[in-house]
Amino acid sequence: MVSSTRHCLPRHALKGRRWSRIVTTLLASVGATVTAGCGLLSHLPESKHDTKASYSDGYGLRIEYPEVQECVTPVSLAAEATVKPLSLDDPADLPTVDMSLAEAINLAVSQSPVLRSIGGSVVTAPAASPTVYDPALTASSPARGAEAALAAFDAQYTQQLFWLNRDQPQNIALVPPFDQFNRAVFVANNATFTNELAKTTATGSKFSLRHVVNYTRNNQPGRAFRSSFDGWVEAEWRQPLLQGAGTTYNRIAGPTNVPGQYNGVLIARLNEDQSLADFEVSVINLVSDVEKAYWDLVTAYRVLDTQIKGREAALQTFQYQQVRLEVGSGRSDEEAQARSQYYQFQAQVESALGGPVGLYQSEQRLRYLIGYPATDGRLIRPSTEPNDAKVIFDWSSALGQALERRVEVRRQRMSLQRRELELVAARMNFKPRLDLLFQYRWRGLGDNLIGSSTGAAGTGLPDDNLYGSILGGNYQEGQAGIELSFPVGFRAAGLAIANAKLNLSRERAVLAETELRVSHDLSDAARQVDITYQLLETNYNRVEADLRQVEVLQRRYRDGSDNINFLLQAQRQAVTSTTEFYRSLSAYNLALRDLHRQKGSLLAYNNVQMAEGPWAAGAQRDAYQVGRFLHPRQFPEKTQAPMALTAGPFDPSAPQNTMPNTVSSSSDGEFAEPVMPTADPAADKPMASETVPAAPAVDETLMPQPPADEKLEQELPPLPELSKPKSSSSDGVPRLEQDS
């Protein structure tokens, strides 16, 4: 007979189980909702207490004006001092400021730390605007500068102090103290103090001096001291023998063993040299822009004067035709033609004064480059006359200097040198890591850290002082050995070599292409010098012919033997040819500028030197202290030194010699040929001759150094006047006044 017993739970137990199930279900639902994120909450309807607007909607994205510390500079003062711009104001009513080209260049390179450009890119791209701070920023960069590369070899000090409390049950019986389950418990208080001073040398060696102190207080049986200090002082020397060994590798790659990453002292030095080259390019561009703006202003003055003379001639013709019409000897159509030409010249005068390439616009461009206000009520008047003498350069000498001295070529050679160094480091890194290790240690143990006592529990042990035990030298250890490690296959190191070779090949190809482009640019610049001078002669002869034609036709028109159309056309041709002559004169001077720029002598041609700024007092004191411990080598030829990075200092502002061997030249290597445009194309007698001024001497001073104001004493033959203006200012600036 089988009997069964039914186990029944009390009512309160069933009720508790039901509530437990409900709570579990709710918790699971909440957990699922939280796990799903905010997606489910977004479908819940908003109550009347919910607000749709958020605080961040109107605050986080609103446009605000930054609150910065204002720094008053000459540039901001010049901006605030700007008055109403000039448009069609009479230049004769404005005070003038005579300014030579040398003065304009000096102002441009000394007025602002930002190197300006005609386009004004500082507004649209301020981060790309060159400044005088760029080389210093590279030198002080914590990632690219030489000091940052040297910092990797600085001594490193590390210190650690940790406390540890242990209350660990042991699987050991019958050993007090016991816990509530009659198990042994290990109770301890520990402390660890570690400090280390390590230094990596240029040869890859690493020297370390390490000190470790361990404090222990526990209930472990059999201890002589209940609380004890044990520690050691050790010295370590690790010397790599293969990978990472030698000054060559460490000067290129630094104390790193990662293939493809090179940030040593030599690489950082090349970064600084490239930054200086970029700064030199910016200075050259600034000087070139200033010279272009200066000659454009000269052209604007002369074009305006030509247009005014043409307008006065048209006005005289128009007034003469009006008189003839009044007395009955003229024709109305001829009077209308003369009137139309007068207004045509009037429009050209207004355009030459305030148009896009007019006088005021050209003067404002020069004002911006030299740091002047856009308008200050005065008018800049150039005092340097353009060069109209033929200048001939020796092609072989100019080409050799361009391929050697152009800053773009030098910068590319720096990139090539960097790739060569990287290839050397990559090949040296294709080795296993084999280090020689020496280590020596002095150990100690004591109940006290410093001082002495009778010992724990009255034992009276002599070694109860940690530092006394260490200094006693009774416990010394030594270790020596080698450590070998390498990746099987050297895949990363092999890729670094292949990448370095490809980079080197690329930089060599780019250097060759750069030299080819430089030769083409120099050839084009030399061609432009010859062409612009020939156009200068041709346009001058054209002016002479047109003026003679105006004179003849005007006399025939006054005599009544010719039509007015021929006279009006001749007047237009004379104004056009005179304008083209002045523009060709400016183009010739700009061609000389371009040739100097292409052969790398523009800074020397304009007497602009670049030099490091003055040192701070602290830097001078530190250099003096270091120099006290430096002495010249007695036998420098017997000293093994690392590979030199450069061939010595280079002065981009040094004068260059580009003279032919058979012609007497000036100090800058240029020689002049006295062949000014002839009055008659058939005549061989030159009308003027002029020698090209020698390049200014280079001063050993800080950049910029303005050269002496040497005005060209040229003898450009005066052009026959179209018609003398009725009114002109005493300073030579034509007045915009009409005859009634």
- Report DSSP letters for 67-81, one per residue: -------HHHHHHHT
DSSP per-residue string spanning 710-736: ------PPPPPPSS--S-B-TTSPBP-
- Indicate the range of 2-6, 497-501, 606-610, 705-709 predicted with least confidence: 705-709
Q: How many of the other CB atoms lie within 10 Å of CB of 538?
A: 16
Tokens (6 digits) for 35:
């796990």
Q: Give the per-residue pLDDT at 92.
A: 85
DSSP state of 142: T
Closest of 154, 153, 150, 114 to residue 132, by C-alpha = 114
Q: Which of 203-212, 335-344, 637-646 has the highest mean pLDDT?
A: 203-212
Closest of 597, 592, 548, 538 to residue 574, by C-alpha = 548
Residue 182's φ and ψ, nearest 5 degrees, are 60, 40
Q: Is the pLDDT of residue 571 over 70?
A: yes
**Contact in structure between 372 and 378 (CB atoms under 8 Å):** no
CA distance 168 to 493: 49
- Residue 77's pLDDT band, with cuts at 50, 70 and 90, is confident
Q: Is 216 left (phi over 0), alpha (psi -120 to 50) or beta?
A: beta
**Contact in structure between 537 and 589 (CB atoms under 8 Å):** no
Tokens (6 digits) for 603:
């800074």
Helix, strand, coil content of the chain in percent (nearest 5)? 45, 15, 40
Q: Is 697 helix (H, G, I), strand (E, B) or coil?
A: coil
Q: Is the pLDDT of residue 727 over 70?
A: no
| End-to-end Cα, the chain, rounded Å | 149
Q: Give the per-residue pLDDT at 176.
A: 56
Q: Give the per-residue pLDDT at 587.
A: 96
Tokens (6 digits) for 687:
């009308």
pLDDT in tens, 586-636: 999 999 999 999 999 999 999 998 888 777 778 888 888 888 888 777 777
Above pLDDT 90, what percent of the chain?
Answer: 46
Q: Which of 80-94, 391-405, 691-705 has the highest mean pLDDT?
A: 391-405
* Burial state string for 50-79 with b = 16 or more CB within 10 A and e = fewer than 16: eeeeeeeeeeeeeeeeeeeeeeeeeeeebe
Q: What is the rounded (10 degree) CA torsion for 381, 384, 388, 389? A: 180
Range 383-403 average pLDDT? 92
Q: Is 693 helix (H, G, I), strand (E, B) or coil?
A: coil
- Indicate the range of 4-13, 55-64, 409-418 predicted with least confidence: 4-13
Which residues fall within 8 angstroms of residue 163, CB to CB, at 6 or more apart? 189, 190, 191
Question: Residues 367, 371, 373, CA angle at the centre, nearest 5°?
Answer: 60
Listed in order, strand segments (DSSP E) in 638-706 are: 671-673
To the nearest whole number, what is the mean pLDDT of the chain?
79
Q: Is 46 helix (H, G, I), strand (E, B) or coil?
A: coil
Residue type, position 594, single letter: D
**Contact in structure between 184 and 173 (CB atoms under 8 Å):** yes
CA distance 519 to 414: 20
H or E, element range at 584: helix 564-598
pLDDT in tens, 171-223: 766 555 555 555 678 888 999 999 999 999 999 999 999 999 999 988 877 78
Q: Is the pLDDT of residue 734 over 50?
A: no
DSSP per-residue string spanning 528-564: HHHHHHHHHHHHHHHHHHHHHHHHHHHHHHHHTSS-H
Residue predicted with more confidence, 241 or 642:
241
- Give the distance from CA 496 to its chain's centroid: 29
CA distance 489 to 432: 10
Range 346-368 average pLDDT? 92
Q: Give the per-residue pLDDT at 579.
A: 94
**pTM, two decimal places:** 0.75
pLDDT in tens, 459-507: 445 557 888 889 888 899 999 999 999 999 999 999 999 999 999 999 9
Residue type, position 65, single letter: Y
Range 366-379 average pLDDT? 89
**Contact in structure between 570 and 553 (CB atoms under 8 Å):** yes
CA distance 117 to 293: 11
Establish how many alpha carbons lie within 13 A of residue 316's alpha carbon, considering only the half-sphere containing its beta carbon.
15
Which residues fall within 8 angstroms of residue 695, CB to CB, at 6 or more apart? 604, 605, 607, 655, 666, 667, 668
- Indicate the range of 335-339, 342-346, 678-682 predicted with least confidence: 678-682
Q: Give the per-residue pLDDT at 671.
A: 34
Closest of 527, 580, 533, 577 to residue 690, by C-alpha = 533
Residue 49's φ and ψ, nearest 5 degrees, are -90, -10
Q: Give the per-residue pLDDT at 93.
A: 85
Q: How many of the other CB atoms lie within 10 Å of CB of 36?
A: 10
- Strands across the sheet with 476-485, in order? 156-169, 185-200, 206-218, 227-240, 433-446, 476-485
- Residue 68's pLDDT band, with cuts at 50, 70 and 90, is low
Closest of 351, 341, 372, 350 to residue 570, by C-alpha = 341
CA distance 658 to 665: 9
H or E, element range at 470: helix 466-472
CA distance 314 to 339: 8
- Indicate the range of 31-35, 451-455, 722-726 predicted with least confidence: 722-726
- Residue 127's pLDDT band, with cuts at 50, 70 and 90, is confident
Compute and round to an integer the Cα radius of gyration of the chain. Answer: 44
CA distance 562 to 700: 68
Residue 306's φ and ψ, nearest 5 degrees, are -65, -45
